[in-house]
Amino acid sequence: MKYDVLTIGHISLDFNIDYLDNQIIEIGGAVIYSSAAAYALGHKVGAVTKLAAEDKERLGALVIPKEDVFFVESKKSTSIRNKYFTADKERRACTCISQADSFEIEDIPNVDADIYHFAGLIYGDFDGKLIKELSKKGKIAVDVQATLRHQDANDGGRMYFEDWADKKELLPYVDFLKTDAAEAEILTGTSDRRKAAKMLYDWGAKEICITHNTEVLAYDGVNYYTCPIKARNLSGRSGRGDTTFASYITERLHNDIATSLLWATATVSLKMEKPGALQVKRDAIQEYINEFYKGELDALN
């Protein structure tokens, strides 16, 4: 079996509480949003996830074909509580209720993939050894969330961010690196996204993708590229970065950076207009580009 991307991550039972204290319980996780976005764009996608046996029904939240889902049993499953403080969901406090077992090399199926996408949620979901091992098989894509977001077991699972201790050792193995603006500042110490992208490149990452609520920035060590997010509402805000990154890295298999970034921002803009994982075909995203990204499309042509 050959995949464009093999996405590795835990499925989480999320308790999402908005700024008005309304709670929605839903099944989430980067592996769900990421695999759905790449699949919507027409790419061949595999997903590896670990769950407790009693939570296996969560696999139903994945929208890719069942034969492309690789389930590994875990002692526990991941569950997270997210309390949002603003209507745009840019500020939140997170609590880890439980965390599934770490991914090991033995958990990765014997398949070929062009990209191995580390779509973790919490520090400890994977380690540097796994990144190094899989870099021998294909390109490596890392969402830094699971390298920065820790849980404090002595404080009820409260999650907090701290710098990635092994970043300078592991970034040279990373072909595609994704951060949001806040994570980029934690990694580099600067709030200037362009400066942060250059620092991350200088430390070894080959292409950097930094998401922001207004735009997405990409950098390859030579040029900076940006493309705006044009979502008309934020009802589907959860999974913004996951959708963007998965779209970008899979489009990069066949397109240049500017074109891939256009498809990624259009994909995430469409996704954010409806809750849940993206469930459309590539034609719908093309129509969205034609309607809302005419200027950007013309600039490419």
Overall number of domains in the chain:
1
Q: Residue 90: which CATH number?
A: 3.40.1190.20
pLDDT tens digits for range 11-58: 999 998 988 999 989 899 999 999 999 999 999 999 999 999 999 999
* pLDDT for position 235: 83
* pLDDT for position 254: 97
pLDDT tens digits for range 53-111: 999 999 999 999 999 999 999 999 999 998 988 887 777 889 999 999 999 999 999 99
Q: Radius of gyration (Cα) for the chain, nearest Å?
A: 18
- Taking residues 220-244, report their average pLDDT: 92
Interatomic CA distance for residues 187 and 258, integer angstroms: 25
Which strand (E) or helix (H) includes residue 146?
Answer: helix 145-148
Q: Which residues contact 217 (CB under 8 A, 6 or more apart)?
A: 193, 194, 197, 208, 209, 210, 224, 225, 226
Q: pTM here?
A: 0.95
* pLDDT for position 238: 82
- Taking residues 249-275, report their average pLDDT: 96
**Residue ranges making up the domain that contains 284:** 2-300
In the predicted model, is pLDDT for residue 112 greater than 90? yes
Interatomic CA distance for residues 59 and 70, integer angstroms: 10
